[in-house]
Amino acid sequence: MLMMLMMATIIMLISSITMMLASILSKKSFYDREKNSPFECGFDPKCSARIPFSLHFFLIAIIFLIFDVEIALLLPIIIIMKYSNMIMWMMTSTFFLFILLIGLYHEWNQGALEWAN
C-alpha cells in the first residue's frame, strides 16, 4: 500500500513538473499588433483574415465522427458472435443497434442532417 502511494506521488510530481514547464515555456512574452495582424504584401488588410466558420459544417463533422466510432464498435460484434452465447449476443447487438437508430432518428428529426436549407 505504501509502495502504491509513493508511486502515485511520484507520478503526480512528474506530471505537475511537466505541466509547469510546458506552461512557462509556451507563453509568448512579446505581443505586438503588427506581428499578430495578417500580412498582405506590406499593406493593411482590407478585411478580417478570420472568416466565420460554418456551425452546420461543424455539426455534420461531429455527427460523422460519432457514427464513425460507432461503426468501429460494430465491427468486433461479428467476430465475437462465435465465441459467445447466441441469445446474449443477439440481445446485446439488437440493443446497441436500437440505440444507434434512435440517435440517427433524433438527428434526422432535429434537421441536423439536412445540408441545404
Residue 59, classified by CB atoms within 10 Å of its CB into exposed (0-12), middle (13-18) or buried (19+), is middle
Structurally, how many domains does the chain consist of? Answer: 1
Task: Assess if residue 115 is contained within a domain.
Answer: no
Closest of 26, 99, 114 to residue 67, by C-alpha = 99
Q: What is the pLDDT of residue 70?
A: 85
Instruction: CATH number of the domain at 9, please.
Output: 1.20.58
C-alpha cell at 55: 456551425
Average pLDDT of 33-38?
64
DSSP 100: H
C-alpha cell at 3: 509502495
Its domain, for residue 12, covers 2-110
Q: How confident is the model at residue 104 (pLDDT cuts 50, 70, 90)?
A: confident
Query: What value does the mean pLDDT of the chain take?
Result: 81
Q: What is the pLDDT of residue 103?
A: 86
CB 100 within 8 A of CB 70: yes
